[in-house]
Amino acid sequence: MKFPDLSISNPLRLRELIRLIRSAKTAAEERVIVSKELAHIRDSFRVEDNTWRCRNVAKLLYIQMLGYDAHYGRLECIRLIASQRFTDKRIGYLGVMLLLDEKQDIHVLITNSLKIKVPELMDIFLPSVRGLITEKNHGILLTATALITEMCYKSTEALQHFRKLVPNLVRILKTLILSGYSPEHDVSGISDPFLQVRLLRLMRIIGKNDTEASDTMNDILAQVATNTENSKNVGNAILYEAVLTIMDIKSESGLRVLAVNILGRFLINNDKNIRYVALNTLLRVVHVDNNAVQRHRSTIVECLKDADVSIKRRAMELCFALINANNIRTMTNEMFTFLSICELDFKADCTSNMFLAIERFAPSKRWHVDQIMKILTTAGNSVRDDIVSSLIGIISCAPDLHGYITQQLYKLINDSITQQPLVQVASWSLGEYGDVITSGQLETDDDSAHINEADVVNVLEKVLNWTLSTIVTREYAINALMKLSTRFPSCSDRIQTVMTIYTCNMNLELQTRAVEYTSLFTKHNSLRSSIVERMPVVVNNQMQSSVNEQQQQQQSTDDNVQTAASSESSTLNSNSKPAEENPLHILDEIQPVVINDIANGNMNNNILDLFGSISTPVAITPPDEFLFGSALSTTNVTNNPTNLKSSTIPNMNAIDKNGLRVVFSFERHAINLIINLEASNLTSSIMKNFVFKAAVLKTFNLELLSPSGTDIPPNNSDSIRQIIRLSNPNKVIFYSYYYLVYLMSIIIGGGTGFVGRRLITLLREKGFNNITVVSRGTVNTGTEKLTWDDVKLGKVPSDIRAIVNLAGAPLLNFRRRWTEEYKNEVIESRLGTTKKFADLIINKLDKKPDVYISMSGVSFYKPDSVKEYTETSSGGDYDFLSHLANDWENASEQIEKAGVRRIILRAGVVLGSSGGMIASLYWPFFFGFGGPISTGQQYFPWIHIDDLCYLIIYAIENSNVRGILNAVAPDIVTNKQFSQTFASSFYPPRPALLPMPGIVMRFLLGEDRAVMALEGQKVIPQRTLESGFKFKYQTIKEASQHLSRLFI
């Protein structure tokens, strides 16, 4: 075999070397060729031949890839990197990657050098890279897209530069989607899926937080989502990238719904990987569009039964993310089913998440407690310790359920004491409230009617002596027995004997407690009753943090609300300092629980400098500064404490609003301050579960003594008193936050309808959770339900704060013909329900509600194209609808005569995307077939559903609102103006050129009902605006922009 000349002056090319090595017949011939070439390369490196260094290093790398030693070429690679020629640098970096270990210092140095240089050189390549997008070659487009993506990640300037390329990217993607079969780029029937995926990723980066770019992408993303085949993984990969892009950019709500539906289809795919990806992605987007994900709730729940552990865990996490106030009962049952069959590894996490969800969305305290006890029995010993302590806090905060809870827990552990967390909670409850279930005052069934003191002591002693009880459980039991020693005098000697036995126990903790408790029986018996008295209310941090989240959401929703007694709780913040100066961030255990901010009004009585500490002189002494001692000089505070003691401090009205009056009176003694709280109720309804709490900095000492009661009687007949002790040993300026809690009820007639469902949602956001719905339909809102027969018989909750009557068969129901039978149904559904409420209020309620709110309509006014109508205008005598409105309003007059504040809302057309008129018009306008009704010149009185609901809440909370209110928006428009505005609010804008002939409306609705659509009134909300209410959607343009977004 003849070898070519391998002299330094004439080195082989890489291509020739490869051909020569491949032509070798044996391994020995290959080794000879490689050895000769390596010798030639070493000689070239030795004489520092720069001319052929690049070629020699390339050959060396090829030889190294064949398995031969080429370590001596590392230095030459570094020299090539330092070269000014691009070809040299390219081979140099490739050599460094192949020959150097990534852990070597030189490799790290080169990598960091690249990271510094690349961003600096990026601006040079921007014009060139931009030109690559116009190339036709798919390989160039693919690499160019990948390069632009990386540049956008690295540089904000590059991102802004490439945002101009969005139309080009859209055009390329559209060409790929619409192009026919191309064998060169086709993969499973899809044109170049690799380029499509790259383009979608780039669009996701460019469109994020950019409205203009997102709007340009919306249509093409919709086409990708609808036209891509999902039967094979290639299509699923493209759909997955499209979903991520849709959810990351500022896309339309309808497009987001489409993306979630794609993920829903993924959930029923047979491939486990696709199902996992779908669940993982839904978990990321559930907070972006919760309503869209809720539609796939049943499919997600089915994934809990999957055999794959990863899918099951993701499905569990997603189920808990979907739980809200409306589906809490249904989802809780589903999760209980899962908890009973899931593996042990899931039980702890499932139990904790169930506890948090139930705690946040429980419709009532009793249901809350029942579900928690069910968790304890279902999960067994998998319940975490924090759940036990949290449940104890819940029980402590529910005084009206102490007997019921303790009785149920006694039954459970009397049957079995194997479930330690359940036994711990039961032991604590029996120790605190065991005397309640043995007193005979508790209403019980036959099985538990004979619980006596000995029975309770027996079960606790059984827990204490059971060999499998944990040390913690025994500690609960021994503490409970000690608590009962003073409440069960007949068992006191027996309990003392138990304590004496456990003074010799091998466990140090049990022994110590037994010794201490035995000494209370013998040496300090006089102190025993005071030491083992009932514990005060336990503060639960988790409960407070979840309520704080609700408060933050509700405060951002509506600035108009002046808070009254909320259905769940109300809050007073006495400090008006800015949020950034809130001193509570340094507290570890206490945070202010806020749901309804009673202090939204003027609260000038800041609790500042409460103990007389002054940092700067004060020229003027306001009353509140004198109240807290700022008027006293530093000298007087320091040298003459008697001045502090003798100084007169005026009383302070902490709150006087919505019938609740809280007055503070003060007594100051040196560094100590005693605050006497007196809370009175000026309304006609009792205020239940009143609680006052306060939070201070750790440098102060705060003691809240037990209040005189928890229920404030109505009509200022009595008050609750409580003493608060404060000490300020460090004499620093004092800041305090405090809050109040009390409970009232609201009844909503027809709460399952279009307006009722939205009203319940907004009431809950405002903190009104004690809601009862009166309806013939099914209630899915997590509220208590009554029938109209219950109202007729007076079987309603006590202490009703407000009654809202929304009942009434729909007038614009195209599915019901306008017959005499339906006319009578419309009349009865309005007048009949009003009369039932009137009879309830006047004849069956001992304590009447504060307010009654009923609906009416602008059909009360005669249609007119010129005349303006306010609340004082006459009407009710024109046609069937006006007579109906007039009779409806008159039916509730007796309620006002009975001393109840009455409000009538004459509503226009209620606009909301979940029902009503918009539900019928949305799709015709969406597809461009919408238009005005008849000529469109008739006036169109309207109101957004949120404004109607906020007006109802505003009327409940403000006692100065009464009488007739026009529930219409202040923006007066015609039907034609509404149609044009609504059509133009879509993206892209739709035309509104196809009118609905009047004869068609008369045929569909009948002559009486067609008046509502073909004729209109010019209605002005004069008294509504004068009352101080502010509309959220004042113009039809604002309302249309909100309503045109799909599924809001």
Residue 925 to residue 979: CA distance in whole angstroms: 9
pLDDT value, residue 902: 93
Which one, of 132, 140, 125, lies nearest residue 195 by Cα?
140
Backbone angles phi, psi at 1030, to 5 degrees: -115, 125
Among 253-257, 514-518, 595-599, where is mean pLDDT lowest? 595-599
Q: What is the pLDDT of residues 810-843, one digit of tens each?
A: 776 666 777 888 888 888 888 888 999 998 888 8
Segment 354-364 shows an average pLDDT of 88
Q: What is the pLDDT of residues 464-499, one digit of tens each?
A: 888 888 899 999 999 999 888 888 888 888 888 888
Task: Evaluate whether 724 touches 610 at the Cβ level (below 8 Å).
Answer: no
Strands 736-743 and 688-696: antiparallel
pLDDT value, residue 574: 33
Q: C-alpha angle with apex 176: 172 to 180, nearest 5 degrees?
A: 140
Is 899 buried (19+), middle (13-18) or exposed (0-12) by CB count in 10 A?
A: exposed
Among 180-184, 732-736, 951-955, where is mean pLDDT lowest? 732-736
Q: What is the pLDDT of residues 154-211, one digit of tens each?
A: 788 888 888 888 898 888 888 888 876 677 778 888 888 898 899 999 998 988 888 8
Is the sign of the CA dihedral 842, 846, 850, 856 positive or negative?
negative
Backbone angles phi, psi at 106, to 5 degrees: -65, -35
- For the cut 60, the answer to whether the pLDDT of residue 616 exceeds it is no
Among 87-101, 301-315, 325-339, where is mean pLDDT lowest? 87-101
Which one, of 365, 380, 378, 392, lies nearest residue 418 by Cα?
380
Task: Evaluate whether 475 touches 509 at the Cβ level (below 8 Å).
Answer: yes
Backbone angles phi, psi at 478, to 5 degrees: -70, -35
pLDDT value, residue 904: 94
- For the cut 80, the answer to whether the pLDDT of residue 1046 exceeds it is no
pLDDT higher at 447 or 645: 447
pLDDT value, residue 602: 34
What confidence tier does 291 reach under pLDDT thresholds 50, 70, 90? confident
- For the cut 70, the answer to whether the pLDDT of residue 281 exceeds it is yes
Residue 912 to residue 890: CA distance in whole angstroms: 28
Segment 552-575 shows an average pLDDT of 35
- For the cut 90, the answer to whether the pLDDT of residue 800 exceeds it is no
Q: Report how far apart the first and last C-alpha atoms of the chain are (Å, whole number).
A: 82
pLDDT higher at 449 or 368: 368
Residue 88 to residue 80: CA distance in whole angstroms: 5
Task: Evaluate whether 77 touches 96 at the Cβ level (below 8 Å).
Answer: yes
Backbone angles phi, psi at 328, to 5 degrees: -60, -40
Mean pLDDT of the chain: 78
Helices marked H in 82-137 — which ranges? Answer: 86-99, 105-132
For helices 233-248 and 253-267, the axis angle rounded to 10 degrees is 140
Segment 130-145 shows an average pLDDT of 84
What confidence tier does 670 reach under pLDDT thresholds 50, 70, 90? low
Tokens (6 digits) for 388: 């036990």
Q: What is the pLDDT of residues 875-922, one digit of tens each?
A: 888 888 888 889 999 999 889 888 899 999 999 989 887 777 777 777
What confidence tier does 736 reach under pLDDT thresholds 50, 70, 90? low
- For the cut 70, the answer to whether the pLDDT of residue 572 exceeds it is no
What confidence tier does 369 reach under pLDDT thresholds 50, 70, 90? confident
pLDDT value, residue 898: 87
Amino acid identity at 1025: L
Residue 767 to residue 597: CA distance in whole angstroms: 10
Neighbouring residues of 248: CB distance < 8 A, sequence distance ≥ 6 = 204, 207, 208
Write down the residue that tokens 């030189």 correspond to. 106
Helices marked H in 228-380 — which ranges? Answer: 233-248, 253-267, 272-285, 290-294, 297-302, 309-322, 328-341, 344-361, 365-379
Residues recorded for the chain: 1048
Residue 881 to residue 423: CA distance in whole angstroms: 64
- For the cut 90, the answer to whether the pLDDT of residue 447 exceeds it is no
The string over 634-673, giving b where at least 16 C-beta atoms fall within 10 Å of a residue's C-beta and e elsewhere, is eebbeeeeebbeeeebeebebbebbbbbbbbebebeebbb
pLDDT value, residue 742: 53
Task: Evaluate whether 938 touches 975 at the Cβ level (below 8 Å).
Answer: yes
Tokens (6 digits) for 516: 């201490």
Q: What is the pLDDT of residues 959-977, one digit of tens each?
A: 889 999 999 999 999 988 8
- For the cut 90, the answer to whether the pLDDT of residue 123 exceeds it is no
What confidence tier does 854 reach under pLDDT thresholds 50, 70, 90? very high
What confidence tier does 657 reach under pLDDT thresholds 50, 70, 90? low
Q: Tell me the domains of the chain and their CATH numbers.
A: 14-100 (no CATH), 380-540 (1.25.10), 562-742 (2.60.40.1230), 745-1043 (3.40.50.720)
Write down the residue that tokens 């029902």 correspond to. 915
Percent of the chain with pLDDT over 70: 82
What confidence tier does 117 reach under pLDDT thresholds 50, 70, 90? low
- For the cut 50, the answer to whether the pLDDT of residue 791 exceeds it is yes
Bridge partners of 805? 749, 854
* DSSP designation for 987: S
Segment 211-227 shows an average pLDDT of 88
Residue 909 to residue 310: CA distance in whole angstroms: 50
- For the cut 50, the answer to whether the pLDDT of residue 556 exceeds it is no
Q: Give SS3 for 938.
A: coil
Neighbouring residues of 631: CB distance < 8 A, sequence distance ≥ 6 = 618, 621, 625
Q: What is the pLDDT of residues 56-91, one digit of tens each?
A: 889 988 998 888 888 888 888 888 888 888 888 888
Cβ neighbour number for residue 717 with a 10 Å cutoff: 10
Segment 443-464 shows an average pLDDT of 76
pLDDT value, residue 970: 92
For helices 193-207 and 233-248, the axis angle rounded to 10 degrees is 10
Segment 671-677 shows an average pLDDT of 83
- For the cut 70, the answer to whether the pLDDT of residue 564 exceeds it is no
Is 427 buried (19+), middle (13-18) or exposed (0-12) by CB count in 10 A?
A: buried
Residue 1031 to residue 970: CA distance in whole angstroms: 8
pLDDT value, residue 794: 84
Residue 229 to residue 236: CA distance in whole angstroms: 8
Residue 261 to residue 291: CA distance in whole angstroms: 12
Percent of the chain with pLDDT over 90: 8
Segment 410-430 shows an average pLDDT of 88
- For the cut 50, the answer to whether the pLDDT of residue 220 exceeds it is yes
Backbone angles phi, psi at 847, to 5 degrees: -115, 115
Query: In Å, how far from its chain's centre is CA 972?
Result: 36
The string over 513-550, giving b where at least 16 C-beta atoms fall within 10 Å of a residue's C-beta and e elsewhere, is bbeebbebbeeeeeebeeebeeeeeebbebbbebbeeb
Residue 234 to residue 991: CA distance in whole angstroms: 38
Q: What is the pLDDT of residues 496-507, one digit of tens each?
A: 888 888 888 888
pLDDT value, residue 180: 65
What confidence tier does 852 reach under pLDDT thresholds 50, 70, 90? very high
- For the cut 50, the answer to whether the pLDDT of residue 615 exceeds it is no
**Single pTM value for the model:** 0.46
pLDDT value, residue 967: 93
Segment 9-18 shows an average pLDDT of 81
| Radius of gyration (C-alpha) of the chain in whole angstroms | 38
Which one, of 739, 734, 740, lies nearest residue 698 by Cα?
734
Backbone angles phi, psi at 989, to 5 degrees: -60, 140
- CA distances to 871, 885, 887 from 831, rounded to whole Å, are 21, 10, 7
